[in-house]
Structure 1
C-alpha cells in the first residue's frame, strides 16, 4: 500500500493523513468537490498553466465518440475518441491556446462551468479517489448571439499527493451523440 501525505481541511481543522484509509468519507468528498470547483474556476478564467499543475503526470484525458444505441452500454465502442490526450498533449493544447494561433478560439471562448451530481468513492489504491460528476458547460464565442450548452458526464480518478489532489484520469461523455458546438477547443 502506498502512503501519501495529504493536507485537507474539514471545517476549520487541518489534518494530515497517510492514505485515503485515514480520511473520512466526508473529508474525501470535500477534497473532490474542492478540486472540481477550483478546476472549473481556473478553466473559466483561462488560467490554463495553473490548471496544468492540477494534472498528474500519468493523466489519461479522453472524450470518447458516443453513438445513439438502444442500450447505454453500447453507446461507447472504446475505439474512437474526439480527444485522447496525455500530459504532454494537454500542455501542447495549452501552449497553442496561448499562441494566438488556435483559430478555433479566436476570439477566445467565454465559459461558465457548473459542476454537480458529484459521487465520490475510494479507489482501488490508497492514494486514488474515484469521482463522478455532471458538468454543464456554457460557451460563447466572440459576439455570437447565443452560446452553446455542452452537457457532460465525467468519470474521474484523482491521485492524492502531498501537494493536493491531481487529476489522474478523466473520461468525459458528451450527452449528445452529434457535437452541437463548432469544436471542442475548450476543456471539458
Structure 2
C-alpha cells in the first residue's frame, strides 16, 4: 500500500477533476495557477524500438515548459495568432488510475494518473484521441496542492493529430 490516507487520496482526486474541468472549459489562466513557480512540464517523445531498448527519448519532446512559458502559452490562446486553436478545440479529459505515494521531500507526493483526451475541431466529425500517463510531483501549500513537476508519457509514437495546441 502507498501509506496515503483516504482524505488525502480524495483531495488529490478532486484536485485532478478540477484541473480537467479548467482545461475543458478553456480556463487556462486558472489552470496555470495550479503549478508552482519551479514547475517542469515535459512530454518526451515515444519511439518504437526493438525489445530491450528504451522507447522514451528524453532529449527532445512535445513540451518542455517552465511556469513562464506555460503562462505565455495560456495567454497566447486568447489571441488571434493561436492558429492551431482557432477555432478552439472541444475537449474532454478523463483522468483515471490514480496512484499516489510519498514524495522525496516532506509535504510532497508522487502521483501517477492515466489520461484520455478526446479532442474535436470544426464540424467535420473528425476527432483525436490522445492517451498516456502523467507523472506528477505535488506539493502542499497553504492554498492547496501545486504541481511541482509533470512528465507526460504519450502512448502513441506516431500521433494522428495535426498539432498539439492543447495542454495535457
Q: TM-score range by the shorter chain?
A: over 0.9
Between the aligned partners of 1:75 and 1:119, the Cα distance in structure 2 is 22
**Residue 82 of structure 2 corresponds to residue 107 of structure 1:** no
2:112 matched to which residue of 1?
132
Q: TM (normalized to structure 1)?
A: 0.84
Q: C-alpha distance in 2, partners of 1:71/1:58?
A: 35
Structure 1 residue 100, shift from structure 2 partner: 2.1
Normalised to the residue count of structure 2, the TM-score between the two structures is 0.94
Alignment: residue pair count: 166
CA apart distance, 1:82: 1.2
Mark the runs of 5 or more structure 1 residues left unpaired by the alignment: 1-22
1:58-77 equivalences under 5 Å are 58-71=38-51, 74-77=54-57
Mapped contact 1:131–1:155 kept (Cα < 8 A): yes
Q: Is the aligned partner of 1:79 residue 2:59? A: yes
State the SS of the aligned residue for 1:74: coil
- For the pair 1:179 / 2:130, whether they are aligned, the reply is no
Which of 1 and 2 has greater Rg?
A: 1
Alpha-carbon contact 2:103-2:109 (below 8 Å) kept? yes
Partner of 1:160: 140
**Mapped contact 2:4–2:102 kept (Cα < 8 A):** no
Corresponding residue of 1:151: 131
Cα deviation, residue 176, structure 1: 0.4
Partner of 2:100: 120
Measured in 2, the distance between the counterparts of 1:36 and 1:73 equals 32
Q: Secondary structure at the match of 1:132?
A: strand
